[in-house]
């Protein structure tokens, strides 16, 4: 005859197999959906300063200040397998020292049930836009791109970029006024 522990083990093992199967179905039902959407980004104010870095060397590096507008509708990205979106705005550019630079300037978390229609005007960057030298002054091609990570209930943590980006240039002279 089967003991109580033997029967409990069978019930738990069966429940784990069924839950794993349901989780796999949850993942497969949304893995092939297209989670891209358009975003409109516009820069309003672009300033560059040459200030001492906070490191021990105290070298002067470029610090960029950007004010931007952001408009997008992310409501179609939410389905029953999406818990939240982690949005982030990156600036990409190249310099003589580094062929590819990517700096996160702003981020936001949007939970399921929150308003996913974004229409921000005149937003300052959340994080500093440091360059490890003097590569921002007079730079002609800095590209802002909105990307997001989808945090699912089950499945892959995917990184998706928006359809649309914005390129701008920094002024050729450093500013001395407060920003």
Residue % of the chain over a pLDDT of 90 = 42
CB 170 within 8 A of CB 139: yes
Query: What's the mean pLDDT in 127-147?
Result: 88
112 and 39 within one domain: yes
How confident is residue 35, by pLDDT bands cut at 50, 70 and 90?
Answer: confident
CA distance 147 to 163: 9
Q: Looking at the predicted structure, is the pLDDT value of residue 170 above 60? A: yes
- Statement to judge: residues 119 and 66 lie in one domain: yes
The pTM assigned to this predicted structure is 0.83
Q: Is residue 133 part of a domain?
A: yes
Residue 137 falls inside a structural domain: yes
Give yes or no for residue 1 having a pLDDT over 60.
no
Considering only CA atoms, which of 24, 87, 46, 38 is closest in space to residue 172? 46
Q: Of 41-50, 53-62, 75-84, 88-97, where does mean pLDDT reach its minimum?
A: 53-62
Q: Which pLDDT does position 65 carry in this prediction? A: 92
- CA distances to 38, 76, 127 from 57, rounded to whole Å, are 43, 48, 22
What total of structural domains would you count in the chain? Answer: 2
Domain coverage including residue 17: 1-30
The reported pLDDT for the residue numbered 40 is 92
Please report which confidence band the pLDDT of residue 87 belongs to, taking 50, 70 and 90 as the band edges: very high
Q: Is residue 60 part of a domain?
A: yes
pLDDT of residue 126: 94
- Does one domain contain both 21 and 94? no
């Amino acid at each position: 005859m089967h003991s109580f522990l033997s029967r409990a083990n069978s019930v738990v093992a069966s429940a784990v197999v069924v839950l794993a199967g349901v989780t796999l179905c949850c993942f497969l039902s949304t893995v092939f959906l297209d989670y891209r959407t358009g975003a409109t980004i516009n820069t309003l104010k672009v300033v560059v300063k040459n200030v001492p870095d906070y490191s021990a060397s105290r070298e002067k590096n470029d610090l960029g200040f950007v004010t931007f507008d952001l408009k997008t509708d992310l409501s179609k990205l939410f389905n029953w397998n999406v818990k939240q979106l982690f949005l982030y705005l990156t600036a990409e550019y190249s310099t003589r020292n580094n062929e590819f630079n990517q700096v996160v300037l702003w981020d936001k978390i949007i939970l399921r049930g929150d308003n996913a229609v974004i229409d921000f005007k005149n937003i300052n960057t959340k994080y500093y836009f440091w360059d490890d030298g003097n590569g921002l002054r007079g730079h002609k091609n800095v590209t802002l791109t909105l990307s997001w990570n989808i945090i699912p209930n089950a499945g892959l943590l995917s990184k998706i970029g928006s359809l649309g980006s914005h390129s701008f240039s920094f002024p050729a002279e450093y500013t001395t006024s407060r920003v």
